[in-house]
Structure 1
Amino acid sequence: MERYTLYETYRLGMLIDHFKPKELIEELDEFIENTPTEDIPHVFYVLSLASDRRTMIQLLTDLSQGVDEEIPACIIAGLLHRDQDKYTIEELYRKTSLLASLLKDPDGDVAWEFRTLNEANEEAQLAYGMRFKRKKTRERMLAKNEKALRDALAKYEKYAAEFDNKNWGN
């Protein structure tokens, strides 16, 4: 996987609070430990020694300038699918909504899909309050939306598998 794609993936993941700075530092330290010195990009040392989240995000933003966000967004969606048990459905909606809002192209496939799913969920929540009085009706409607979100995330599972290879590449 291209290194700049990984930078953008980590940037997006940190911005939606899926990755913690400590996790990135641990991965970088592992890479530094297992790689000959001449093959380690200087910026990895800077990132590894970064003291806070803001500094890391700024460095990752600078490094990933000009990278197409579609693949990193797909990776993040795949990672959210893989780690969905860590989050409530509300948190998944929040993270996917934030991911969609962070992408420069609002009409891109990932941004459009998650924005649409989040809008459908919001509409369902409003509709329940206005029209549906029965609990079963509400539960069915929300379960349908939840399934749609989980199915959408599942489509990106293969991207998470590629990311998990930890191939810091070119």
Structure 2
Amino acid sequence: MLPELAKIKGIHPGVILKREIKLRGLKNKELADSLEEHAQTIGAILKEKRSINPNLSIKLGHELGVANDYFMILQASYDVKKAIQINSSTKTPDLAKIRKVLFWDTDFNKINWDTDRKPILKRIFERGNEIEINEIISFYGREAIMKELKNTNNDFLPSFQENLNKYLLS
């Protein structure tokens, strides 16, 4: 059963479609044939490389037992989320001064330097070098960093406190 739209707004329709295909035990080709669409079209949607169009949304709605506009609404909310990300005027530090390897567990280009401030500060102060720490201090400002770190728990590496003392508290 497909989830309610309110719970999945902003997610690419291909992600939801892939999940539904798996739950129903279908193959991409089987779905494509039942919709009278090319298997490549369905494959591209499942890989998030192609959008859902109104005609396909109607076909999918009929085939999967949901409203005809279900996938179209999902596509529109995904497009809006993507446009907001592109058009947002989020400032970033000088990324040339920050090693990507510091954020080995995430896509460096998708880091939101505003909303992800706390984990960024933790990572930089635990593992960053002098150039990276100074760049983050100049980007966020000493006061903002101190305010952010004031309300954090102390599950940091020892290097965190050492760097905090060296660069902010001295």
Q: TM-score, normalised by structure 1?
A: 0.21
The structure, 1 or 2, with the larger RCO (C-alpha pairs under 8 Å, 6+ apart) is: 1
Larger radius of gyration, structure 1 or 2?
A: 2
Q: Which has the higher helix share?
A: 1
TM-score, normalised relative to structure 2: 0.21
